[in-house]
Structures are given as C-alpha cells and as structure tokens.
A and B are shown apart, each in its own frame.
Chain A
Amino acid sequence: MRGVMKRMLTAAGVSVGMLLMAFTPASAAVFNLTADAGEISMPDGAQIYMWSFRDSAGGFRYPGPVLDVLVGDTVTVNLTNALPDMDGPSGPMSADAVSLLFPGHENVEFSSDGGVTWAPTGPAYTTGGSKESLRSLAGEAAPGQTVSYRFVAAKPGTYTYYSGTYPHKHVDMGLVGAIIVRTGLPNQAYFTTGSNYDYEVVQFYSAVDPDQHKRIKAGLPYQNSAYLPQYWFVNGRAFPDTIAPDTVSYLPNQPMGALLALYPKERLLVRMVTFDRDMHPLHSHGNHLMVLARNGRPLSSDGVNGDLAIEEYTQTMHPGDTQDGIFTWDPPMNFGFDVYGGDVTQPVPVIVPPEHNSVNINVGFGQLFSGTAYLGHKVDLGADAPINLNAMGEMYVPFHSHFEIELQNEGVGPGGMLAVIMICVPGKPCPGHP
C-alpha cells in the first residue's frame, strides 16, 4: 500500500514476536506530518490548488498519509504548519492555523511545547471565549509552529484524521488522512471471526469544488454554502486516473491508485474512508461486499463472532464514515458456464463477439475488454478497437458512486468517483497485486 507510514517503534523489545503483538505491552508510534499547499491534476488537465498533510520528510501529496499502528500503541503525531501566507485582495494575509482531529479515539492529548506538557486537546477561539468566534475543535499549530497530539489506539479498525480548524474549509481543501489500527494478528482486521483477509487496499472518497479552491488561492473567503463540487475522487484521483499505477510521473502529488487487483477466491479487504460533506453510495460491480465493520467497530454482538456482518452491493458512505468490507470474486460451480474456459462441456451459452465471430452481432468494444466471457482468454478486438488495454484476459468491473452525477470531471464523463476492480488470471502476473 503506497503512502502508508509505518509505525516507528520506539519501545525496546517490541520486535520480539510480531505475531503476538496483540498481547504485548503497549508500545509507541510516532509520526511527523506537515500541513502544506500544492496542486493535483485532473484527467482533463485542470490543476486544483489543495492543502493536505504530508510526511514531514516527503513531498506534497493528497490525500494525506495512512498512519499504520498496532492496537494498544500510544500514537504521537507531530504536526508542523507549513500552510502558506496568501496575497489577499487587500494585501498579505497570514496563513491559517491548522490542527488534527482523531474521531473514534478517546482522550486525545495536545502539546505545544515539544511534548513536555500535555493537556486534553480542545477548542480554539479567535476572540477570547466568544462562542461565535469558534475556529478550531482541537489544539492548533500556528503558521510555522509544530505541535503534538497523542492518544492510545485502543481498538483495531479504520479511522480518519483531519483538520479541526475551520473544518468546513480545511477538509474541503484536502487536510485529510486515515489511520489503520491493526490487531497484530496476521491478515486479521478485527478480533472477530470472518475478518481475515488475503490483502488490503484503502479507498478514500472525496470531492472538490474548484471555484472554492481558486478563491482560497486568491486569498478570498471560503463560501461554505456555495459549495458545488465538480470533481469527485477515489484516493485523490478522478477516473480514469484512478486506474493508473500508484506512482506515475504525471500525478506526482497523487500517489495512490485505485485499481483493486485480485485473483479469484481471494479475500480483498477494502478499507473505505470518506471525507467530503456529501453521502456517497458506493456500488461494487462484480459482487457484494461483506461488510465487517463500520467506523472502526466490528459488526458483532459479542466482539468475538462476526455475526452481524452484512452483504451489500451499495455502501452508503456518510460524511466521516469508515467501513471495512471483504470483496471476493468466485463464481460458483453452478454458474451456467465455466468462467475459466477449462470445462468444454460448460461453454458460454451465448455468442460473445469478437470471440465467437458472427455476422449477426455488431457491437462496440471497450478498451479494457478481453474479447471473451472467459477469464484468462484474450481475443483481439480488431480494427474497430485498435487500442486495447487488456493484457492477458483479465476482467475489469467498476466500483463507483451510484449518485451518477459524481461520475463526471467538470461535466465530462466517464470520470469521477470510479475505482476499478481487476480480476486477475490465475497463474499469471497481476499488476498492482502485492
């Protein structure tokens, strides 16, 4: 998983027996984040001015890094405010303060003196205690300042973090990221049954109103009630950039792809995180998702059995939600045909061009189409479809918002909040598969 910041182990002896981590004494994980400004690219060539969190030792990126910790860890995040000053319409403007919220975690503490003294994180007001001047829901880093937050990651799961300063503005500007709290058990997302997986991906859902971002860059006030998004993202990219690899040269600040590559029968854990202010119904083609947990809490009546897990093909991701689900693609024996094409007594029952050449069927082919209904077979699509991005007979299905206006890039589709699931061919390479 690109962009994951691994916990830095500072406690002695922690390296002993990683498999037993769930039962080892609490350790410490330290992350250094910097709030900064930069730009991201849209498929139509537009550049969007963003604010985001980056690894203090790394370059600008959107969305912010995934903080990867173990349950029981004392997590310390050192936040440096490098947001730029602005040239406003009436002269220079000082940069915003910035802060961090950690929903789902309790007793978050704040330090503004390098970790010497700690106090519960709390609000900040612009004018004394004037309620109307509420600026931040958490302790802040002033421009140029470094502050620290710490908490105990008490429960495994998928969480968000984001700026608590002017959150309506800062979250829309991109000051967001995610936290994964691991069980310490290998490939086990929770301590509940059924939460095992073969590998995992993180999916961030968000959107931007480019007009508001232009206003911020120009030093103009953010118009909260005028928000009208025009670009929708998975992992900070709009389709078709979502299916580009994790790091491509033309998307230097958007390092996370959203191509979900898996082999048949594999259990792919999808950690879903949503940031913007709207609800998105995420619809998985290809199969249901077995939903294990919502907002970092397993769907379980007793914390042991995953007895409340539920299969859905449309996940309603409300603002701030996280959700963990298992995606598997495994056609049953009784599927009407052998999807692998190995059993000659179970052919595809209908003509599928171009594989079954026929004068009777004249259709258009998508660039990702293999030309057949069989996994692992590949037929040239012919002169009508000279560009074919299908490599070896793999299959593609989308995983996208079903508010279909969100499948546009400033009015042009297909685009937007659309990730792609790639079903790989057993025994053959699977680009992007860990």
Chain B
Amino acid sequence: MKQDSKAENTGNLNLCPATRKIDLMRGEFEMKPRRSNKWNLAKTMILGLAMAATGLAGATDSWAVTAPVSLGTGMQCPNDIDNMPYDWSLDPAAPGYSATPGAEDIDWNGDGAYNHKSGLPIDPTAVCRRVGTTDGYVKMPDGSNLFIFGFMDLTGVPEADLIDYKFKATLPAPDIEVDEGQSLYLTITNLGLLVRPDLADPHTVHFHGYAHAVSAFDGVPEMSVAVPPSSNFTYFYKLNDPGTYGYHCHVEPTEHIALGMVGTIIVNPAQNNPAAGQFFAYNDGGAAPNTRYDVAQVIHMHDLDADKHHNLETVAEGRNVWAEFKANYYTFNGRAYPETLLPAAPDPAANVMLNGASAYKEDYIAQPYSSLITANVGQRILLRLNNLTYRSHSLVIPGIPMHVVGKDAKILRGPDGPGGVPGTDLSYHRSALALAGGEEMDVILDTTGLAPGTYFLYGRELDTQANLSLADRQAGLGVDNRGGMITEIRLN
C-alpha cells in the first residue's frame, strides 16, 4: 500500500518538488483508499495556482505555510451550492472558475463525489451550519456595556461579506437546531477581534455531550485542532441521539467561556411529526415520561463578572484572578430582566452597526434572544435548560411544577429491558430545580388546569436576581437593582 501511495503522489511531486507536507503524507499513513484521482488532480491544480500566485512555484519551501489563506476558502458542505458560502466562481483564479453562478462544483472531501451543479443536495441528510468567532459588546439594563468574546451565525453569508461580521458576536451563541439522523457539518470561522487586535486567540467548537466523540471533532485544542484568526475548520457530527446539548469554545476555557463563547445545540427526535403538529424532546415511544410539547424555549444561563470583561477590554487581563470569579450580572439567553421579556431581534446578523456599542440595546444585535414564554392553558411547555456557568443555578416557577424528563441529552429512563421494553421512568417533579455548570436538562410544564395569567421563572439563589448598576459599581457601592435571571411565562 505504501508503494501505491508513493506512485500516486508522483504527480504532485512533479509539480511541487520537495514539498514538506506531501513527503509527510507519503509516510506511514495509507492515503490511497480515500483519494481519488480527481481529488489529486484538483489538489494539484490548487497547489499549482497557489504557488504561482505567491511566486513560489518551484521553490523548495512548503506551500502550505506560505500560501495565502483567506476567509473565503473554508466552508465544507456536501450540499454547497449557491446558497452556501463557498463559491469558487467568486475567484477568477480558482480552478473551475466560471462566470455562471452555480458552477462551483468540486470534490470537497476527497471521496470522489462531486456536488450536483443543479443545486440538488448530494446528501439529503447533510445540514450545514457556520458560526463565526469574534468580539463585541452586550448591554445590561443599567446601561453597562460588557466586552465579550462570542460566536455568531454565519450560515448562508456570502464569502465576500464575512468580514462584515467581525465585532458582531452574540450572547449566547446562536442556537443550532438540527434533526436526529442528519449529518451536521459545522464550520467555525475565526474572524478575529476588533477591540483586541493584539490577541490572536484561536477558537474551537466543543459539542458538549456528543456521544462517542472523536478527538478531531471534540474541540479541545491540546488534543485536536484549534482555529486561528482568518481560518476555518469544519466539524462533522452524525446526529444519532436527540436531546439538548451545549457547545462552547474549549480554548483557554476559563476565559473564553466566561467571556461568552457558549451556546445550545438541539437535536430533535425522529419521533417528531411536524405535519401533525406533534413535537417531542425525545423518542419516548409513548412510554413514560411523556416528552411531548407544544411550545419550546431554550433557557441558557450565563453569568458575567464585569471586571473580568473590563480587564479584557482594556488590555488588563493579567489582573483577572479567575479563582475569584464573582458575577455582577446574571442572564437568561444573554439578557437580564426586564429585557428578557423583549422580543427576539428579527435578524441580528442583518443589522448594520452604525453607532457602535450604544446601538446594541435598541437593536439587540448582540443579544437577539428573548426569554418570554407565551402559551395557552393546557399546552405543554418544554424548557431546554442549559447551564454552562461556573456555579449551580436553582430555578423555580411558583405555580407551575417542573417535570424533569431529560438530563444531559438523555431521556430520564433506566436501561431498556429485554426485547426493548422501555426502562424505568426516572423523571421527577420539582418546585426548585438545581443544575450545575455543564448540565443540560429538559423540563415539561403541563399547564392543564392552571389559571391564565403571568407566572415567573427565576433564579432562586436570589443574588442572581440582582444587577449591580454601572454607577453603583464605579462608586464602590453594593446597591443592586432588581433584574438578572427572571422571565415570565404568560398563559392565555
């Protein structure tokens, strides 16, 4: 097999003598089974063009190090046609260039299969998402602007426009909602930082809770890859297990998570029947616990220690003593009460920031997610609780018992018995529900028989209902304003 690999690489070597990485590829790794001649041809063309463009053709140094890597080359999606970011046709120097939109088809993953020019997906189970990483600001009800690191949704953004999304991080990161059975191609694009251009922090996505993860797609930089500014990486996940998951950057996690690089992944179960209006948290098969719901709401908890954010903003992060982390602001879905009740921003990524940070509060560019829950009496509400903070949070809803049906992306049920007999129902009811950092839970609120009205969902530690105002903080006062982890459930 090694002999074959050498022979196969000869074509490359003709064009590109003594390139380091090709020498490496010719080593112990058996590359041929996953390489088609088409792939090598395409790669050779890319290689030659890249070298020509950089004046390095024939040089003995590695092209991979010196070739320019732009933002416009990174999204991998088997259904990548016009509505997806990668488009060779934008680049006249690229192989396969055509002035005709849609003529972008290329074998991206080296499996010998090309995308359909027609735009029809080659893999109907494939779903492609793209998240960018950058910085930005969030606004608290007292007017404080807090510097954040974060993600934002770049799915469908044309390559040429990517750079416009720098400095538009959101808190929390965009929800990624996908279906069981799909193949998720999740691209991370590191846009760099606007406020801290001196920092070249790489970022990753850790799919928090993904079962049987391989290191390459686990997002832990010490054990896999990390993505520096102006680069991309595409993670692949086959979605076999429905549930509520987290995701976050795992680079310098103490800092990057606290600064806001946290989000939620929802995998809907195959049992869903949208045509019939039937939605479930899990494939419960009709056995207890019943996970059916009418209305779903993500409640993503995030705590902000204003000084930590301020120190990052002002090139003083050396002052951050993380062991002394103490939040001043507590949020549901990136907002503190009463702004938790405001509607979702219609399209945060589409807003253009004209007035800098001061525009955020009005537009919710950086905090697009509402936490207001509205339902009719008798409906079942699913709360997808996601705590990626550095403490436990206890939540209560006076007047509505919480039925906990899932935890850590598993239905609360014991192991199945012989013949697939559903396991013991391990769900439970709570008036107060605690979950620690790193835990996700699925909670059903059955509103049958409840009086119409407004109910409150809030943080029971009570200090999490406080916002220390900017003025009070600067004055060294400890006067708190009511806010933080509070939202409403309005039953009609």
A joins B in a complex: yes
The verdict on A349 contacting B322 (CB below 8 Å), with A281-B438, A359-B69, A403-B437 known, is no
Residues of B contacting A244 in the complex (Cβ-Cβ under 8 angstroms):
none
Binary CB contact string for chain A from 184 to 204 against chain B (1 if under 8 A, 0 otherwise): 000000000010000000000
Minimum CB–CB distance for B423 against chain A, Å = 7
A397 touches B238 (CB 8 A): no
The verdict on A362 contacting B228 (CB below 8 Å), with A347-B111, A411-B321 known, is yes
A331 touches B212 (CB 8 A): yes
B414 touches A310 (CB 8 A): yes
A369 touches B21 (CB 8 A): no
Binary CB contact string for chain B from 230 to 243 against chain A (1 if under 8 A, 0 otherwise): 11111111101000
Could you say which of A287, A329, A364, A370 contacts B221, with CB atoms under 8 Å apart? A364
Further 13 A-B residue pairs, CB within 8 A, beyond A351-B76, A379-B25, A402-B436? A228-B323, A285-B206, A288-B211, A288-B408, A288-B410, A307-B423, A312-B407, A331-B212, A348-B109, A349-B78, A366-B220, A404-B257, A408-B254
Taken together as a complex, chains A and B put the C-alpha atoms of A310 and B213 apart, in Å, by 19
**A15-23, A148-156, A335-343: which lies at the interface:** A335-343
Taken together as a complex, chains A and B put the C-alpha atoms of A363 and B203 apart, in Å, by 10
The verdict on A363 contacting B185 (CB below 8 Å), with A351-B108, A357-B25, A411-B321 known, is no
Residues of A contacting B197 in the complex (Cβ-Cβ under 8 angstroms):
none
B residues contacting A by CB (< 8 A) are: 20-22, 24-25, 27-29, 31, 33-34, 43, 46-47, 50, 62-65, 67, 69, 73-74, 76, 78, 108-111, 183, 185, 202, 206, 208-209, 211-218, 220-228, 230-238, 240, 252-255, 257-258, 321-325, 388, 390-392, 407-410, 412, 414-415, 417, 423-424, 426, 436-439
Residues of B contacting A299 in the complex (Cβ-Cβ under 8 angstroms):
414
The verdict on A111 contacting chain B, using a C-beta distance below 8 Å, is: no
A336 touches B232 (CB 8 A): no
Q: Which interface residue of B63, B74, B222 has the most chain A CB atoms within 10 A?
A: B222
The verdict on A373 contacting B237 (CB below 8 Å), with A364-B225, A407-B253, A411-B322 known, is no
A285 touches B220 (CB 8 A): yes
Taken together as a complex, chains A and B put the C-alpha atoms of A316 and B390 apart, in Å, by 13
Taken together as a complex, chains A and B put the C-alpha atoms of A334 and B270 apart, in Å, by 15
Who on chain A is nearest to B228 by CB?
Answer: A364
B226 touches A366 (CB 8 A): yes
Binary CB contact string for chain A from 251 to 290 against chain B (1 if under 8 A, 0 otherwise): 0000000000000000000000000000101010111101
The verdict on A347 contacting B34 (CB below 8 Å), with A281-B439, A359-B46 known, is yes
Residues of A contacting B27 in the complex (Cβ-Cβ under 8 angstroms):
379-380
Binary CB contact string for chain A from 285 to 319 against chain B (1 if under 8 A, 0 otherwise): 11110100000000101000011111111101000
7 contacts between A and B (CB under 8 A): A336-B183, A349-B78, A350-B76, A366-B221, A368-B222, A398-B220, A404-B254
Taken together as a complex, chains A and B put the C-alpha atoms of A324 and B109 apart, in Å, by 41
Q: Which interface residue of B76, B232, B321, B323 has the most chain A CB atoms within 10 A?
A: B323
A363 touches B252 (CB 8 A): no
B109 touches A313 (CB 8 A): no
Could you say which of A283, A370, A383 contacts B208, with CB atoms under 8 Å apart? A283
Who on chain A is nearest to B224 by CB?
Answer: A369
The verdict on A372 contacting chain B, using a C-beta distance below 8 Å, is: yes
B21 touches A382 (CB 8 A): yes
A306 touches B415 (CB 8 A): yes
B213 touches A397 (CB 8 A): yes
Taken together as a complex, chains A and B put the C-alpha atoms of A283 and B253 apart, in Å, by 13
Could you say which of A307, A350, A359, A384 contacts B415, with CB atoms under 8 Å apart? A307
Residues of A contacting B208 in the complex (Cβ-Cβ under 8 angstroms):
283, 313
B47 touches A339 (CB 8 A): no
Residues of B contacting A311 in the complex (Cβ-Cβ under 8 angstroms):
408, 410
Who on chain B is nearest to A343 by CB?
Answer: B33
The verdict on A67 contacting chain B, using a C-beta distance below 8 Å, is: no
Taken together as a complex, chains A and B put the C-alpha atoms of A2 and B202 apart, in Å, by 38
Minimum CB–CB distance for A272 against chain B, Å = 14
Residues of A contacting B62 in the complex (Cβ-Cβ under 8 angstroms):
382-383
Residues of A contacting B223 in the complex (Cβ-Cβ under 8 angstroms):
366, 368-369, 395-398, 420
The verdict on A413 contacting chain B, using a C-beta distance below 8 Å, is: yes
The verdict on A344 contacting chain B, using a C-beta distance below 8 Å, is: yes
Could you say which of A229, A309, A334 contacts B240, with CB atoms under 8 Å apart? A334
The verdict on A357 contacting B410 (CB below 8 Å), with A350-B109, A405-B325 known, is no
A349 touches B323 (CB 8 A): no
The verdict on A350 contacting B391 (CB below 8 Å), with A339-B214, A366-B226, A403-B437 known, is no
Taken together as a complex, chains A and B put the C-alpha atoms of A285 and B222 apart, in Å, by 13
B437 touches A404 (CB 8 A): yes
Taken together as a complex, chains A and B put the C-alpha atoms of A415 and B45 apart, in Å, by 44
The verdict on A360 contacting chain B, using a C-beta distance below 8 Å, is: yes
Residues of A contacting B64 in the complex (Cβ-Cβ under 8 angstroms):
357, 359, 362, 382
Who on chain A is nearest to B108 by CB?
Answer: A351
A360 touches B74 (CB 8 A): yes
The verdict on A404 contacting B226 (CB below 8 Å), with A351-B109, A397-B213 known, is no
B218 touches A397 (CB 8 A): yes
Taken together as a complex, chains A and B put the C-alpha atoms of A403 and B325 apart, in Å, by 11
Taken together as a complex, chains A and B put the C-alpha atoms of A398 and B213 apart, in Å, by 11
Taken together as a complex, chains A and B put the C-alpha atoms of A301 and B414 apart, in Å, by 11
Residues of A contacting B78 in the complex (Cβ-Cβ under 8 angstroms):
349
A383 touches B20 (CB 8 A): yes
The verdict on A330 contacting chain B, using a C-beta distance below 8 Å, is: yes
Q: Which interface residue of A309, A366, A377 has the most chain B CB atoms within 10 A?
A: A366
A316 touches B439 (CB 8 A): yes
The verdict on A361 contacting chain B, using a C-beta distance below 8 Å, is: yes
Residues of B contacting A373 in the complex (Cβ-Cβ under 8 angstroms):
214-217, 236
Taken together as a complex, chains A and B put the C-alpha atoms of A395 and B223 apart, in Å, by 8
Minimum CB–CB distance for A410 against chain B, Å = 8
B24 touches A382 (CB 8 A): yes
Residues of A contacting B110 in the complex (Cβ-Cβ under 8 angstroms):
347, 351, 356
Residues of B contacting A403 in the complex (Cβ-Cβ under 8 angstroms):
390-391, 436-438
The verdict on A362 contacting B76 (CB below 8 Å), with A349-B111, A355-B29, A378-B28 known, is no
A363 touches B437 (CB 8 A): no
The verdict on A167 contacting chain B, using a C-beta distance below 8 Å, is: no
Residues of A contacting B238 in the complex (Cβ-Cβ under 8 angstroms):
334-337
Taken together as a complex, chains A and B put the C-alpha atoms of A230 and B321 apart, in Å, by 10
